Amino acid sequence: MDLDTIIKRLPYQDPFLFVDELMDISETGAQGTFQFKSDSAFYRGHFKEYPITPGVILTECCAQIGLVCLGIHLMDKLDVEQNKGQHQIAMSSTQMEFLKAVFPNETVRVVSEKEYFRFNKLKCRVKMYNAKDELVCRGVLSGMIILKSDGK
């Protein structure tokens, strides 16, 4: 599947889409980038006069690139034709460690490595790097993949 097609199938839109480019995807992982724009609403209150990207937003970026994009790819590889594109992925657990701040207008790269994919559960190790290739955060994310019912 085309990498841009996977991004278009994500169940998010601006202002909650945290994937600009999907660089690589395979059976074992995914890699993509996102730039945190300075006009994003969350910067107005986190923190006053010294904005940094909230950890929950960094986690969401890692999940969208490293878990959801990968899940879409893996399900399409396994699924029968009539169910293609009919899946949703919901994060079920997170464990993240934050090492560096991400500031407005920074571009980050997320690298995901699949730990396992079975019984409709996907578990990945994720790492986020800044433009200097410094490790920003890392962790383990899990999600459940469900079939949309009645086209909803």
Which residues are catalytically annotated?
Answer: 46
- Closest among 136, 46, 52 to 97, alpha carbons compared: 136
**In the sheet that 87-98 helps form, which strands lie side by side, from edge to edge?**
21-25, 29-35, 107-118, 121-129, 135-147, 87-98
Q: Count CA atoms closer than 13 A to 96's CA, side-chain side.
A: 23
63: number of Cβ within 10 Å:
25
